């Protein structure tokens, strides 16, 4: 092969590779999130802020030392809708900072540690594409049979609490990482008041939203049953 055609081939290959790399994700719509099961009584086509988006952002962004209220890195508090919507151009994910930062971006990719996976990215993408409304589905059922820590409580805590109450310096020195941590928190009698947003308690999850009534009831059922593991 002549040198010039070899060069041309190399350039073409390089172009293909870099354009694929450049296209990697940001300009391509991710697949729609998997619709919830039959226990979910609201619209199966809608991505709800409270149900799907906020847990992803609380876990990935509003962590202690990052974009929680106390640290508010780059002046951004991402534990509530008002703070999150500032980074969004409704209906236009590709022009929304909240979506762009999940990929390589001038200020670096977010979150700095483990990148969001495809399912987390698609939740953010489709919520913005649908208009980025402050919506929630409260009739979303939750399985209240056989309530145990492992089956019922730990998944909720992982989604809604560990961003702040996990790691080596958990918020308010309350760790909720293990079964015994959550038992200790329940025994302190601060848990249900915080989840129910009762006066005299700090409302949790922090940021103003609450768990769904069904999820709050799961915690109460679990306590009533003697906190089975
Ligand atoms: C965005 C960070 C954040 C998230 C998410 C969060 N917490 Fe907290 N939590 C805090 C902070 C900070 C405090 C200290 C009080 C304050 O500043 O509001 C606290 C305090 C508490 C308290 C003490 C309340 C009291 O009145 O004594 C409990 C209990 C608690 N959290 C449980 C939870 C549970 C359960 C979840 C998940 C459903 C959760 N938190 C989610 C940051 C968070």
How high is the mean pLDDT in each 10-residue block of the chain (229 residues)?
54 46 70 83 92 94 91 93 97 95 80 90 97 89 88 94 94 98 97 98 94 94 98
- Determine which residue's CA is closest to atom 30 belonging to ligand 1: 204
**Residue whose pair of structure tokens reads 């953010």 in the numeric block:** 124
Q: How far is CA 149 from CA 178, 180, 181, 227, in A?
A: 10, 10, 11, 7
- Residue 139's pLDDT is 73
Contact 176, 164 (CB under 8 A): no
CA angle 101, 107, 109 (to 5 degrees): 40
Closest CA to 87 of 79, 99, 75: 99
The best mutation among 50, 77, 169, 194 to test binding of ligand 1, ranked by most ligand atoms within 8 Å of the C-beta, falls on 194
Taking the centre of ligand 1 as the mean of its atom positions, its distance from the CA of residue 187, in whole angstroms, is 15
What pLDDT score does 16 carry? 45
Q: What is the per-residue pLDDT for 6?
A: 53
Tell me, in angstroms, the distance from the centre of ligand 1 to residue 82's CA: 19
Measured between alpha carbons, how far is 228 from 182 in angstroms, rounded to an integer? Answer: 11
Q: How many angstroms is it from 21 CA to the middle of ligand 1?
A: 40
According to the model, what pLDDT value does residue 97 have?
A: 93
Cα of 202 from ligand 1 centre, angstroms = 7
Q: Residue 96 contacts by C-beta under 8 Å, 6 or more apart in sequence?
A: 87, 88, 89, 128, 132
Residue 206 confidence (pLDDT) = 94
C-alpha to C-alpha distance for 173 and 61, rounded to whole angstroms: 19
From 156, 164, 185, 219, the mutation candidate for ligand 1 (largest count of ligand atoms within 8 A of CB) is 164
Whether the CA torsion 145, 58, 28, 136 is positive or negative: it is positive
Burial pattern 182-197, b for ≥16 Cβ within 10 A else e, equals bbebbeeebbeebbbe
Atom of ligand 1 nearest to the CA of 182: 35
Residues framing ligand 1 (Cβ under 6 A):
58, 62, 68, 79, 160-161, 163-165, 171-172, 174, 176, 185, 190-191, 194-195, 201-202, 204-207, 211
With b meaning 16 or more CB within 10 Å and e meaning fewer, what string describes 61-70?
bbbbebbbee
Distance 207 CA to ligand 1 centre (A): 9
- Output the pLDDT for position 142: 79
């Amino acid at each position: 092969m002549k040198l010039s055609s070899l060069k041309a081939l190399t350039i073409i290959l390089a172009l293909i590779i870099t354009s694929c790399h450049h296209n990697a994700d940001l300009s391509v719509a991710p697949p729609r999130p998997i619709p919830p099961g039959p226990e979910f009584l609201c619209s199966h086509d809608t991505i709800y802020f409270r149900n799907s988006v906020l847990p992803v952002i609380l876990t990935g962004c509003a962590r202690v030392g990052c974009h929680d209220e106390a640290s508010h890195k780059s002046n951004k508090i991402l534990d509530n809708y008002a703070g999150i919507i500032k980074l969004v151009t409704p209906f236009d994910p590709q022009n929304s900072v909240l979506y762009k930062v999940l990929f390589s971006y001038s200020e670096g990719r977010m979150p700095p540690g483990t990148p969001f996976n495809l399912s987390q990215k698609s939740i953010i993408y489709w919520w913005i594409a649908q208009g980025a409304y402050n919506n929630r589905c409260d009739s979303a059922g939750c399985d209240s049979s056989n309530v145990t820590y492992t089956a019922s409580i730990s998944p909720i805590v992982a989604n809604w609490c560990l961003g702040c109450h996990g790691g080596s310096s958990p918020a308010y020195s309350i760790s909720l990482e293990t079964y015994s941590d959550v038992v200790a928190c329940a025994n302190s009698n601060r848990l249900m008041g915080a989840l129910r947003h009762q006066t005299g308690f700090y409302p949790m999850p922090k940021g103003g939203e609450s768990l769904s009534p069904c999820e709050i009831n799961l915690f109460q059922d679990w306590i009533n049953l003697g906190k089975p593991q």
